Amino acid sequence: MLTNVAQGLSGIALLLAGAIAGFFYAYTSSVMRGLDAVAPAHAIAAMQGINAMVRNAVFAPAFFGTPIAATLAGAALLGAGRRAAAFAMLAAAASYLLGALLPTFAVNVPMNEALAITAVPTDAAEAATLWRTYSVDWTWWNTLRTGFSLLCLALVGVALFLAGRSTNRSLQR
């Protein structure tokens, strides 16, 4: 039988993975497209404002908590004798760490910090060049983060499915 701790941690991992995957997906599917649709100087100013406010108590649990919850859930599943489920949950944590968290700190955050100290150009052509370069690269990396976050979410779902399966073959008949 699956322990309450393993169930609880798995549920938390599912919620956090879904929240962060949705967060990254929203940027790729709408936020960046919306910013690309307005004047580049406005897009730069808006992105500077977004980046200044994104680090908050609502964002932090999903961003930082996803790999923690998945790792703890994987350990609890392992302790409950659910090796396949534990492996899937630990793979979820690894996919998020390597494919979402690492690129965030290696690429997206430095890009955001560089944009934060950039004065919004008053020349429309200069603003267009700055925004186009930033937006294309940032969106590409965000789409990568989205894909890995969705993979993390899918692996948490697989882990939950595997955890719910009976280990006693005679019970499955």
Cα 167 to Cα 11, 81, 161: the distances in Å are 20, 9, 12
> What's the rounded Cα separation, in Å, for the pair 118 and 140?
21
Cα 93 to chain center, whole Å? 11
Whether the CB-CB separation of 103 and 25 falls below 8 Å is answered with: no
Tens of pLDDT along 64-101? 999 999 999 999 999 999 999 999 999 999 999 999 99
Residue 147 tokens, joined: 């894909």
Name the DSSP class of 115: H
Element containing residue 91 per DSSP (H, E): helix 83-96
Is it the case that residue 166 has pLDDT exceeding 80? no
Name the DSSP class of 118: S
Tens of pLDDT along 101-121? 999 999 999 999 999 999 999
Q: What is the mean predicted confidence (pLDDT) over 5-9?
A: 95
CA angle 34, 39, 42 (to 5 degrees): 80
Name the DSSP class of 167: S
Residues in the chain: 173
Q: What is the DSSP string of 48-66?
A: HHHHHHSSSTTHHHHHHHH
Residue 114 tokens, joined: 């560089």
Kindly report the average pLDDT of the chain as a whole number.
Answer: 94
Tens of pLDDT along 144-155? 999 999 999 999
Provide, rounded to the nearest whole percent, the portion of the chain with pLDDT above 70: 94
What per-residue confidence (pLDDT) applies to 170?
40
